[in-house]
Amino acid sequence: MLDKIKQLIAEVTSFDTDSAEIAEAFRVRLFGKKGEITSLFEQFKEVLPQDKKAFGQELNVLKTLTINKLKELQEKHKKTFKVDPALDLTLPGDPAPLGSRHPVSLVRNEIVDIFNRLGFTISTGPEIEDDWHVFSALNFPPEHPARDMQDTFFIQSNPDILLRTHTSSVQVRVMEKQKPPIRTISPGRVFRNEAISARSHCIFHQVEGLYIDKNVSFADLKQTLLFFSKEMFGKDTQIRLRPSFFPFTEPSAEMDVSCTLCGGKGCNMCKYTGWLEILGCGMVDPNVLDNVGINSQDYTGFAFGMGIERIALLKFGIKDIRLLFENDVRFLRQFTNAF
Ligand code: DAH
Probe ligand 1: pick from 169, 304, 311, max atoms within 8 Å of CB? Answer: 304
Residue with CA at minimum distance from ligand 1 atom 13? 281
Q: Is 124 within 8 Å of 169 (Cβ atoms)?
A: no
Residues 141 and 246 in one domain: yes
- For ligand 1, say whether the CB of 249 is within 6 Å of any of its atoms: yes
Residues 72 and 206 in one domain: no
In a domain, 111, yes or no: yes
Looking at ligand 1, which atom is closest to the CA of residue 305? 8
- For ligand 1, say whether the CB of 208 is within 6 Å of any of its atoms: yes
Residues 138 and 52 in one domain: no
**Per-residue pLDDT at 93:** 87
Which residue among 79, 114, 130 closes a domain? Answer: 79
Question: Mean pLDDT for each 10-residue chunk of the chain (339 residues)?
Answer: 90 89 90 92 89 89 92 80 78 85 96 98 97 96 81 86 96 97 98 93 97 98 98 96 97 96 90 95 98 97 97 93 94 84
- For ligand 1, say whether the CB of 280 is within 6 Å of any of its atoms: yes
Q: How far apart are CA 164 and CA 14, in angstroms?
A: 83
Residues 68 and 112 in one domain: no
Residues 127 and 193 in one domain: yes
Residues 111 and 67 in one domain: no
In a domain, 302, yes or no: yes
In a domain, 31, yes or no: yes
Residues 125 and 259 in one domain: yes
**Per-residue pLDDT at 321:** 95
Residue with CA at minimum distance from ligand 1 atom 2? 305
- For ligand 1, say whether the CB of 164 is within 6 Å of any of its atoms: no
Residues 229 and 307 in one domain: yes
Position 4, amino acid:
K
In a domain, 85, yes or no: no
Which residue among 64, 79, 94 closes a domain? Answer: 79
Based on the structure, what is the number of domains in the chain? 2
- For ligand 1, say whether the CB of 168 is within 6 Å of any of its atoms: yes
In a domain, 86, yes or no: no
**Per-residue pLDDT at 320:** 94
Q: Is 207 within 8 Å of 170 (Cβ atoms)?
A: no
Cα of 239 vs centre of ligand 1, distance in Å, is: 17
Residues 327 and 199 in one domain: yes
Cα of 249 vs centre of ligand 1, distance in Å, is: 9
Angle at 298 between CA 294 and CA 299, to 5 degrees: 60
Interhelix angle 49-79/36-44, rounded to 10 degrees, is 160
Q: Is 289 within 8 Å of 179 (Cβ atoms)?
A: no
Residues 154 and 38 in one domain: no
**Per-residue pLDDT at 80:** 65
Which residue among 45, 79, 113 closes a domain? Answer: 79
Q: Which domain holds residue 73?
A: 2-79
Probe ligand 1: pick from 246, 252, 292, 310, max atoms within 8 Å of CB? Answer: 246
Going by C-alpha positions, the residue among 184, 108, 118, 116 that lies closest to residue 339 is 108
**Per-residue pLDDT at 94:** 87
- The whole model's pTM is what? 0.73
Position 140, amino acid:
F
Other beta carbons within 10 angstroms of residue 193's beta carbon come to 14
In sequence order, what DSSP letters do the residues of 247-296 get, joined into one string? TTEEEEEEEEEE-TTTTTS--TTTTTSSEEEEEEEEEEPHHHHHHTT--T
Looking at ligand 1, which atom is closest to the CA of residue 167? 1
In a domain, 92, yes or no: no
- For ligand 1, say whether the CB of 301 is within 6 Å of any of its atoms: no
Run of H or E residues at 300: strand 300-307
In a domain, 305, yes or no: yes
Cα of 168 vs centre of ligand 1, distance in Å, is: 6
Residues 69 and 124 in one domain: no
In a domain, 247, yes or no: yes
CATH of the domain at 111: 3.30.930.10
Sheet holding 158-163, edge to edge: 128-130, 158-163, 154-155
Looking at ligand 1, which atom is closest to the CA of residue 306? 5
Residues whose CB falls within 8 Å of the CB of residue 128, separated by 6 or more in sequence, listed in order: 155, 161, 162, 163, 164
Residues 70 and 110 in one domain: no
